[in-house]
Amino acid sequence: MMKVFLVDDEIAIRENLRNSFPWEENGFQLVGEAPDGEMALPMIRDLNPDILLTDIRMPFMDGMQLCAEVKRMLPWVGVVILSGYDDFAYAQKAISLGVREYLLKPITAQELGGALTRVAERICEERRAQESVASLRRDMASGNQFLREKLLESLFTDEGDRFEDEQLMRQMRAMGVNLAAGCYVVIDIAFPLKDEARARARAALSQLAEASGGSVFTCGMAHGARALVLGDNERDAEERAYSFAASAAHLPQLENCEELMLSIGETVTDYFDIRRSMQSARHVRHAAAGVGAGRRIIGVGELEDSTTVLDSLELSPLYERLQYAPAEEIDGVLAEYAGLLGGGADGSDLAAGYLRVAAVIAARRIASDAGADPQGVLDEASVSEALHGAAASGLEAAKALLRAAIACRDRSGRGVGETPVGRARVFLSKRFADPNLMLQDVAGEVGMSQSHFSTVFAQETGITFTQYLTGLRMAKAKELLTATQMRSSEIAFAVGYNDAHYFSYLFKKQTGFTPSEYRKSNKNEPGANEN
């Protein structure tokens, strides 16, 4: 089923397309929507749709700018333009950006269905074409590509000669490649694919680099590949590096690769220091290898901060959610995980038992991260009760252990506000109801580029920024539906949504209930007023 993301600043149009078009019946899934390109971009990066359906004229970032950014980040995404303007200049620019379909408003369900189907068929054809190893190898060897990659490999050796490096830069310039830049970053990309699958992945990485417009170059290595990222300054190089890494992780040829490590080296300002960046990227890969199988993007800057994650214990999603959380979130997080496991938090089934074990492990790790001996922080009787006691008392004991561990963490000064992700969570807890809040606001608050912050946040919390923000808003909405008589439209505005219908759509998608259904099943007092 093809995933579609919708962008249009007119609420009525989004609502009409969302509710009147038979998405699933036609083989499509509407995974998200936004009122402008600036808000849409981080959501598209998170959701990785197959097709982007976007208006042209919108505030902040228009459709053409959005298409250009999406093509840079996720060049395999098919784009369908919706426009109320029959302007040939727009059509020309759309074609130059690789837009697949250009539809004039108003459109019928039949027209939309036909356009989406044609784009989906084209995407499938391209993916089938990429399965041809011969075709991919021809692409890799076309023009000077093969030679360029071989020259680049010589930059990624441990020993180099300054004269030879100068010669390499001149040779690359003669082939139309200018390696002069303000800053450089090397990305080490490790994946265990072999033969045909490895050739497809390397070719896809090369095509992704080509779409960068001369800011990224890749070459194959024995363990996978490496990329050289060029930037104007340190912040620009970091943004480009993390953006490329995130896009690479979403490549269809790598998306299902269970073991994928993208290690980002230090940023250097001198062309002759590229090897230093390469060596630091390789060091990150080796340091993180002890964790075992998994997919992650990690930079040299996070390596020291991630020592508690890179230990001998298996990563626990519950631990990731609670390691920076305040004690007040314990009940909500445990209830959420109980629902995901398919059992009640206070039940006696296998799911509830697993939850209590995970809570004990999380408490031990949080205490250990604080520099304390877990046995000295966690009461032995409570541990025994959590692991072996009756359902209800065992759960309460597990909660008590988590509270004790979090209190220990807070006393140690390693609490919620210490790390960038921790500071971001505090910031979000205060600002989540702002309808204009975007990823770049939070990234700026913690002093990171958008791509860097988005990557680190997702890996430390286990969910994307968009999912986390939506979760905060939905949790507050549940509270208001249960404890107040506010209309659902008023609640939508109170938790950060200008479109009440979109709020209702998201709420049902998240909970399985409409706001009115949720209120009826959870209300504390009769007479709640609902529209």
| Residue range 477-496, pLDDT digits in tens | 988 998 888 999 999 999 99
- List pLDDT tens digits, range 74-114: 888 899 988 876 665 666 666 666 788 888 888 888 899 99
Query: Could you identify the residue written with the tokens 């590509």?
Result: 145
More confident residue, 256 or 306: 256
Mean pLDDT of 1-9: 91
- By the 10 Å C-beta count (0-12 exposed, 13-18 middle, 19+ buried), 194 is classed as exposed
More confident residue, 234 or 284: 234
Rounded to whole angstroms, how far apart are CA atoms 480 and 487?
9
The pLDDT, as a whole number, for residue 506 is: 85
| Residue 214 · residue 287 · CB < 8 Å | no
The pLDDT, as a whole number, for residue 130 is: 62
- Does 314 have pLDDT greater than 60? no
- Does 310 have pLDDT greater than 50? no
State the CB neighbour count (10 A cutoff) for residue 98: 15
For 320-362, what is the HEC assignment?
HHHCCCCHHHHHHHHHHHHHHHCCCCCCCCHHHHHHHHHHHHH
Nearest to 295 by CA among 247, 241, 255, 253: 255
- List pLDDT tens digits, range 167-190: 888 888 887 788 889 999 999 999
State the CB neighbour count (10 A cutoff) for residue 422: 18
Mean pLDDT of 361-376: 83
Mean pLDDT of 291-320: 55
Lowest mean pLDDT among 22-36, 348-362, 442-456: 348-362
Mean pLDDT of 452-474: 85
Residue 475, amino acid: A
SS3 415: coil
More confident residue, 449 or 288: 449
The pLDDT, as a whole number, for residue 277 is: 92
Residue 234, amino acid: E
- Does 311 have pLDDT greater than 50? no
| Residue 226 · residue 233 · CB < 8 Å | no
Nearest to 152 by CA among 236, 216, 240: 216
Predicted confidence band at 228 (pLDDT cuts at 50, 70, 90)? Answer: very high
Phi/psi zone of residue 224: left (φ > 0), alpha (ψ -120 to 50 degrees), beta?
Answer: left
The pLDDT, as a whole number, for residue 39 is: 81
Lowest mean pLDDT among 155-159, 264-268, 471-475, 517-521: 155-159
- Mark out the alpha helices in 228-379 (DSSP H runs): 234-249, 252-255, 274-288, 300-303, 317-322, 330-341, 350-369, 374-377
Rounded to whole angstroms, how far apart are CA atoms 43 and 506?
14
The pLDDT, as a whole number, for residue 527 is: 41
- Does 522 have pLDDT greater than 70? yes
Residue 99, amino acid: V
Rounded to whole angstroms, how far apart are CA atoms 282 and 184?
15
Q: How many CA atoms lie within 13 A of 44 on its CB side?
A: 32
Rounded to whole angstroms, how far apart are CA atoms 312 and 209?
35
- Does 530 have pLDDT greater than 50? no
Q: Extract the tokens encoding 172.
A: 């690359």
The pLDDT, as a whole number, for residue 43 is: 85
Among residues of the chain, what percentage have pLDDT more than 90?
16
The pLDDT, as a whole number, for residue 528 is: 43
- Does 162 have pLDDT greater than 60? yes
- The phi and psi torsions of 227 (rounded to 5 degrees) equal -130, 140
Mean pLDDT across the chain: 80
Rounded to whole angstroms, how far apart are CA atoms 110 and 108?
5
Predicted confidence band at 265 (pLDDT cuts at 50, 70, 90)? Answer: very high
Most confident of 66-80, 203-217, 244-258, 263-277: 263-277
- Whether the model clears a pTM of 0.85, i.e. scores above it, the answer is no
Nearest to 358 by CA among 396, 326, 387, 329: 387
The pLDDT, as a whole number, for residue 316 is: 43
- Does 505 have pLDDT greater than 70? yes
Lowest mean pLDDT among 120-124, 202-206, 243-247, 285-289: 285-289
Nearest to 271 by CA among 187, 169, 172, 177: 169
- Does 297 have pLDDT greater than 60? yes
Contacts of 147 (CB under 8 A, 6+ apart): 175
Query: Could you identify the residue written with the tokens 């139309």?
Result: 176
Rounded to whole angstroms, how far apart are CA atoms 369 and 386?
21
Parallel/antiparallel/unpaired status of strands 183-190 and 51-55: unpaired
